[in-house]
């Protein structure tokens, strides 16, 4: 299995800070601009990249990421093109961990073994597939681990101590803690409650714990980073893309910078958190 994820979290731990995990949607607002954004993320301060695989029925995503997926699909983005993005990203960056995030249906249609082989060959490090519970591990999780891809599981505020061992059993890379119940980008988390939840998770696993959903500002990122191993930001970055587009929904000269400027501010927030601790 690729050790890029583990190496990056080990590096940020040595630096005494949390990792900034950034989510963008493949093909949003178009394939070429999406690749520009992807390539610019590490230089702006992203430690780990989650690349969303657009899907027509993204039930766990809020309006911002749903809209990004629709923009990408309308622009012709496909699962094959998303893997092409990973391949093109790897031509210039061999160090930054990249995780594919999405839903099982497109993977199933593509063919599980074919997808896993192509994702690994393209340079992906892991998968987050939000609609496959641990009871379905034989469908994708175990084959992914066998193919050398980390399968990153989500834990939520409703994941109790009885359920947690099953959730963590085959999880690899890191644990993604969903800080609020519901869809992405919907509300601001209660940072005290999140800190307690992260501490509870750490009693059950040695994997890094990254926290996402509802993290929109450098201040939010700093608050989460004070206790978590990673801070995940998605909807705010996708909103930055949307706000940069022209009246026809096309990329402008401001689009890439809209994302990287916010990533730089978030990265500064993450680094400030431990410095202030």
Residues involved in catalysis: 50, 61
Cα separation values, 225 from 4, 102, 258, 266, Å: 21, 25, 23, 10
Residues 6 or more apart in contact with residue 232 via CB below 8 angstroms: 21, 22, 23, 50, 176, 210, 211, 212, 213, 215
Residue 228's nearest CA partner among 28, 20, 67 is 20
């Amino acid at each position: 299995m690729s050790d890029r994820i583990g190496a990056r979290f080990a590096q940020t731990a040595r630096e005494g800070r949390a990792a900034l995990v950034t989510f963008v949607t493949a093909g949003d607002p178009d394939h070429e601009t999406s690749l520009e954004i992807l390539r610019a993320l590490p230089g702006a301060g992203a430690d780990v990249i989650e690349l969303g695989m657009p899907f027509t029925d993204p039930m766990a995503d809020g309006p911002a990421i749903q809209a990004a997926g629709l923009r990408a699909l309308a622009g012709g983005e496909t699962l094959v093109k998303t893997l092409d993005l990973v391949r093109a990203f790897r031509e210039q960056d061999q160090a930054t961990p990249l995780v594919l995030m999405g839903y099982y249906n497109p993977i199933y249609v593509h063919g599980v073994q074919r997808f896993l082989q192509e994702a690994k060959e393209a340079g992906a490090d892991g998968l987050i597939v939000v609609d496959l519970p641990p009871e379905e591990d034989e469908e994708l999780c175990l084959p992914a681990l066998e193919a050398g891809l980390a399968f990153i599981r989500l834990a939520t505020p409703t994941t109790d101590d009885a359920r947690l061992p099953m959730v963590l059993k085959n999880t690899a890379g890191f644990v993604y803690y969903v800080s609020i119940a519901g869809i992405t980008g919907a509300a601001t988390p209660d940072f005290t409650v999140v800190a307690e939840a992260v501490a509870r998770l750490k009693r059950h696993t040695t994997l890094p714990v990254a926290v996402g959903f509802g993290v929109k500002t450098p201040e939010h990122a700093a608050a989460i980073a004070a206790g978590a191993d990673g801070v995940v930001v998605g909807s705010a970055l996708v909103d930055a893309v949307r706000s940069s587009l022209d009246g026809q929904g096309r990329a402008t000269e401001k689009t890439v910078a809209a994302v990287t400027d916010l990533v730089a501010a978030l990265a500064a927030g993450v680094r400030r958190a431990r410095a202030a601790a």
